[in-house]
Chains A and B, each alone.
Chain A
Amino acid sequence: TGRLPNSKAGDGKPRLLLMGQRRSGKSSISSVVFHKLPPSETLYLETTTRIKKESMHSFMDFQVWDFPGHLDYFDPAFDVDNIFEEIGALIWVIDAQDEYLEAIMRLNTTILNLQHSYPNINVEVFVHKVDGLSEDYKGDTFRDIIQRVQDELSDHGYENAPVSFYQTSIYDHSIFEAFSKVIQKLIPQLPTLEALLNSLCSTCHIEKAYLFDIMSKIYIATDTSPTDIGSYEICSDYIDVVIDVSEIYGWDRPSENGDADLQETGNNDAESLITMERKGNNYLYLREINKYLALICLMGDDSPSEKKAVIDYNVGVFQAALKQVFPRAERDIVVQSPS
């Protein structure tokens, strides 16, 4: 593959730090989101004892650092600068099914400590494991946590701290949706992407369009029409269908080895379409954009399902525009050509 050789650490790759109390679910989150571990198997994960650094190679490279719960992040023995210097976001995980006062206290200490040297860090609080809670209790807990964090910060004279809150669980899509939002903040090209998607949606009567990172199923952008988690879930499940079927039938066929280049007129970018039986129900469209990204669209009632050529054309335009926005594809070429 045409990956950049890993240059020395801290070459501008945004870093996501996962912090929080022991057993709050940090390793589970990172395994489920980035390694596709089935949620039920996180029960067998061992306690993290050292900082676990992982590099993710996707449309953009980033690192995820999973911290052991008991660490004192501001222990003098600890190289604070080295940790926080390149940071993209600090994700603080709070177990909503457990006592959370101490977690909040530590979170606040951390925020206040960081405020001096690194005031621009996004702090993202995941109120986690909400799957086990009743709707009422879930809402109350969430509000209570937000309140306590904000009160304490303003007691220390820190108003409007850049802290966001999410309710998450590894047993549903919420953790992916939260990660999507965290990552979107780190993409400088986001406004351009949104504009491109908006224009695609209006020319093709698309109801909702997402640009997905195929591997992680995080969406890195969507058009600016209102989002509901339902559409995200449909699209994310749809990627699974396409990936699963592609795995089953995309195996290395014996006859292909010899004359792989003579393959017929197949699409090189995978493409998929689902039409629903009942009139009036939306249909789904997927198009692989490059190695990392796929465009997934929920088509509206009046979108031209017969006029697929229109869609193909416009998606082609979108794809070309995206190449300009994202250096990634170019980088691949640069690396490949000298070899």
Chain B
Amino acid sequence: MNTSKRQKQRKVLLMGKSGAGKSSMRSIVFSNYVAKDVRRLGATIDVEHSNIKFMGNLMLNLWDCGGQDGFVENYLTHQRAHVFSSVAVLIFVFDIESREFAADVISYSAIIRALSENSPTAAVFVLIHKMDLVQSRLRQQLFEERAEYIRQASEGFRDTVEFFPTSIWDQSLYKAWTQIIYYLIPNARGIEGLLRELAEVVDARELILYERTTCLMVTHVTRGAEGQNPFTDRFERISSILKTHKQSMAKHTGIPAGSANFAEMQIKTGRFMFFITRLTENTNLAASIPPSEQVFNAARVNIALVRPKFAELDIASKPRPAVQQA
């Protein structure tokens, strides 16, 4: 079981009732759509496959499974083994506005059963979606109630299933997907260790590693007082800022969104200095450092120097055993 090609593939099922918002989030996270573009999407017929290269060695094999009853029926019967075997992650999407929550949960249970038969070691993430449609003061409570109810119907995954409230209209989408991706990244620990060393060397307050195409965070290191930064959602906020910037550049210059990348962004103020620059083929590194030109320049030089080390990690690494083996 070494680093053969097959092992780098991770099968990810995206399921949930028709209209729940699966294809919408997929298009935003992986295909450079903005939230208002998703109105153009039609219902998904059967399964739409996409292969998404992520961090060099990781290939997400995403199955966006159309949620109309007839299709689901088919997944559970004729295609049961085909759909549910060798799954690394199941992402199940609930529409918070659904009028038939109980029925949605029954359908979820049936899928959970098929999953535990065919891929007992898979991880399950449940997204409770379209939270923007709920008044903000009611959100948390409603989310918790629904999550608890769904947990009870999760059978063998009851203790491990994770829940996220999401909406395509704010950064909650990025928060959820960041966690999912983190789970899938092989060797996240190794990357983190290297990042921590780098942060010490360049005296950074914070370093954040972002995947380049999706702008999702891979991991981060926070030092000293920055740990008290009151913006605890800053990692996904920056994801969303980067993504928006990319789209803005694409839209107004006519460059396709996929290639509207900046080489570097710098911001210098009296309170902090910040830059984001390309680290490896698939990652950008964001650094927040003290407001000093010297530290700033030294940090940029040092980061340029460690690029090859990170490049190694990016390309060749071992899969996380927990995901693949029982």
Which residues from B are CB-within-8-Å of A272? 265-268
- State whether B237 touches A233 (Cβ < 8 A): no
Q: Does B293 contact A (CB under 8 A)?
A: yes
Tell me, rounded to whole Å, the shortest Cβ–Cβ distance linking A226 to chain B: 15
- State whether B238 touches A277 (Cβ < 8 A): no
Give the one of A237, A249, A263, A266 with max B CB within 10 A.
Answer: A249
- State whether B237 touches A244 (Cβ < 8 A): yes
Give the one of B241, B249, B252 with max A CB within 10 A.
Answer: B252
Which residues from B are CB-within-8-Å of A302? none
- Within the complex, which residue of B241, B263, B266 is in contact with A244, where a contact is CB–CB below 8 Å? B241
Which residues from A are CB-within-8-Å of B253? 230, 234, 281-282
Tell me, rounded to whole Å, the shortest Cβ–Cβ distance linking A122 to chain B: 29
Q: Does B82 contact A (CB under 8 A)?
A: no
- State whether B263 touches A234 (Cβ < 8 A): no
Binds A, one of B101-109, B284-292, B311-319: B284-292
Interface string of A277-319 (1 = CB under 8 A from B): 1100110000000000000000000000000000000000000
Tell me, rounded to whole Å, the shortest Cβ–Cβ distance linking B68 to chain A: 29
Which residues from B are CB-within-8-Å of A264? 290-292
Which residues from A are CB-within-8-Å of B228? 253-254
* Given A241-B245, A249-B271: A265 in contact with B263 (beta carbons within 8 A): no
* Given A230-B253, A231-B252, A251-B231: A245 in contact with B241 (beta carbons within 8 A): yes
- State whether A266 touches B244 (Cβ < 8 A): no
- Within the complex, which residue of B231, B241, B268, B270 is in contact with A241, where a contact is CB–CB below 8 Å? B241
Please name the residue on chain B nearest to A268 by beta carbon. Answer: B270
Tell me, rounded to whole Å, the shortest Cβ–Cβ distance linking A129 to chain B: 16
How many A residues touch the partner, as a band? 35 or more
Q: Does B305 contact A (CB under 8 A)?
A: no
Please name the residue on chain A nearest to B248 by beta carbon. Answer: A237
Complex Cα–Cα for A183 and B228 (A): 41
Complex Cα–Cα for A281 and B256 (A): 13
- Within the complex, which residue of B230, B264, B270, B290 is in contact with A274, where a contact is CB–CB below 8 Å? B264
Which residues from A are CB-within-8-Å of B278? 277
Please name the residue on chain A nearest to B286 by beta carbon. Answer: A245
Tell me, rounded to whole Å, the shortest Cβ–Cβ distance linking B34 to chain A: 12
Give the one of B205, B264, B278 with max A CB within 10 A.
Answer: B264
Complex Cα–Cα for A276 and B255 (A): 11
Which residues from A are CB-within-8-Å of B230? 251
- State whether B269 touches A267 (Cβ < 8 A): yes
Interface string of A249-275 (1 = CB under 8 A from B): 111011110000001111110111111
Tell me, rounded to whole Å, the shortest Cβ–Cβ distance linking B38 to chain A: 15
- State whether B291 touches A263 (Cβ < 8 A): yes
Tell me, rounded to whole Å, the shortest Cβ–Cβ distance linking B174 to chain A: 14
Q: Does B49 contact A (CB under 8 A)?
A: no
* Given A245-B267, A263-B270: A277 in contact with B261 (beta carbons within 8 A): yes
Complex Cα–Cα for A274 and B245 (A): 11
Please name the residue on chain B nearest to A229 by beta carbon. Answer: B252
- State whether B252 touches A265 (Cβ < 8 A): no
Tell me, rounded to whole Å, the shortest Cβ–Cβ distance linking A145 to chain B: 27
Which residues from A are CB-within-8-Å of B263? 275-277
Tell me, rounded to whole Å, the shortest Cβ–Cβ distance linking B322 to chain A: 33
- State whether B270 touches A242 (Cβ < 8 A): no
Q: Does B234 contact A (CB under 8 A)?
A: yes
Tell me, rounded to whole Å, the shortest Cβ–Cβ distance linking B309 to chain A: 22
- State whether B225 touches A278 (Cβ < 8 A): no
Tell me, rounded to whole Å, the shortest Cβ–Cβ distance linking A308 to chain B: 10
Please name the residue on chain A nearest to B267 by beta carbon. Answer: A272
Give the one of B228, B269, B292 with max A CB within 10 A.
Answer: B269
Q: Does B229 contact A (CB under 8 A)?
A: yes
Complex Cα–Cα for A235 and B248 (A): 10
Which residues of A come within 8 Å of B, CB atoms? 230-231, 233-234, 237-238, 240-242, 244-251, 253-256, 263-268, 270-278, 281-282
Which residues of B come within 8 Å of A, CB atoms? 205, 225, 228-231, 234, 237-238, 241, 244-245, 248-249, 251-253, 255, 259-274, 278, 288, 290-294
Query: What 5 A-B pairs have minimum CB-CB distances, sorted nearest first?
Result: A266-B291, A237-B248, A230-B252, A270-B269, A249-B272
